[in-house]
A = this chain, B = another copy of it.
């Protein structure tokens, strides 16, 4: 079985060494074995765990939520709990999309009204921001 130093794991996973140590302190990564000289030695599945963290982050999960998901996996916990976490995340994302879509609509409408010529005084963009939000 292959094992890695933290630098090799960093290269293979794309996560900086310092970030890996940070994840260890934050209980996202388990404490790895050590060499006699106290170097961290990681098994191959550490790569997958880091990639799980990266992907979950891309999905907008916070480290707290990711820790929860990892703990459920480690304890082989209840699938219903994982579902709850993901469901909450989906709602959060849908809410964000709605807010951003409203802003997109008003902002693009406002931009159509502003030719970009002339002085600031009377600029439709500024007036739109000033008026309502």
Are B59's CB and A116's CB within 8 A?
A: no
Are B129's CB and A55's CB within 8 A?
A: yes
Query: Which single member of B48, B51, B83, B114 contacts A111 (CB below 8 Å)?
Result: B83
Provide the residues of chain B in CB contact with A129, threshold 8 Å.
52, 55-56, 59, 69
Are A94's CB and B90's CB within 8 A?
A: no
A107 interface hit (Cβ, 8 Å) = yes
Q: Top 10 A-B pairs ranked by shortest CB distance? A: A55-B133, A83-B116, A80-B116, A58-B133, A86-B125, A79-B123, A90-B107, A97-B100, A52-B130, A55-B129
Interface size of A as a range: 35 or more
A33 interface hit (Cβ, 8 Å) = no
Are B107's CB and A73's CB within 8 A?
A: no
Within the assembled complex, what's the spacing in Å between the Cα atoms of A84 and B121? 16
Query: Which single member of B83, B111, B120 contacts A86 (CB below 8 Å)?
Result: B111
Are A100's CB and B96's CB within 8 A?
A: yes
Query: Which single member of B103, B115, B118, B131 contacts A93 (CB below 8 Å)?
Result: B103
